Structure 1
Amino acid sequence: MVKFMMKCFLIVTVLLLGVLIGMQQANEGMQKMRGYNDPSLQGAFHITDENGEVEASVLGRKVTSHDLEQKQKQLEDVEAFNLFSSIGEKLGNGISALFEKIMIAIGNGIGSLLDKI
């Protein structure tokens, strides 16, 4: 399950980066086609380094570590993921127990048939 999730995460990350790079290339192509720099056409991403501080903007929005920390705290406060995780764990344990009992019953049935032969 972990390998599958890692593969999915990797694929989604590669595709997202591909889309952002494609948008950046399209923006540069539009600027070359117009022949001048139009400030209304923003790039897909832009990274600046001023006075040792790195600032990044994705699709015109500035991304800072403070924003990411705030979103992480918000996710920890909600704890909605833990609710679904616990429900999934209980459901998985129940299904595993059910199939274990079914397999034991089938094994006992086959064993009793073989004893009769």
Structure 2
Amino acid sequence: MVKFMFKSFILCSVLLFGVLIGMQQANQGMIKMKGYNDPDFQGAFQIDSDQTGDIEASILGNEVTSQDLQKKQEQLEQIEAFNIFSQLGKQLANIVSNGVSSLLKMITEVMDG
């Protein structure tokens, strides 16, 4: 299961990266087709540096900062902390697993005895 999730995550990451590269290439094609550089056209993914050395990133025109990432991480932690369906699913999985293992033990004891 972990192997499948890891492969799925890698595949989604590669596809997302490919989409961003494709959008950047389309933007450059629009600039070439137009014949001049229009400041309204922005790249899909931009990284800029300030005078202070800070690095700013923007994806599709939305700026991404470390504070945004920290807020999103806190929101995810809160969601996981109060996810009752996840807890119910884990309990149900444990009940089914224990039931099946006890059933298999009973079947093997009957066949051996």
What is aligned with 1:67? Answer: 68
Letter in 1 for 2:38: D
The runs of 5 or more residues in structure 2 that have no matched partner are: none
* C-alpha RMSD of matched pairs (Å): 1.8
Counterpart Cα distance in 2 of 1:81 and 1:32: 51
Aligned residues: 112
**In 2, Cα distance between equivalents of 1:15 and 1:91:** 35
Q: Distance in 2 between matches of 1:37 and 1:95?
A: 63
Structure 2 counterpart of 1:102:
103
Q: Give the alignment of 1:1-117 within 5 angstroms.
A: 1-51=1-51, 52-79=53-80, 82-112=83-113
The letter for the 2-side match of 1:45 is: F
Which one has a bigger Cα radius of gyration? 1
Bigger shift: 14-23 or 97-106? 97-106
SS in 2 for 1:79: helix
Runs of 4+ in 1 over 6 A off after TM superposition: none
Per-residue deviation at 1:82? 4.5
TM-score (norm 2): 0.86
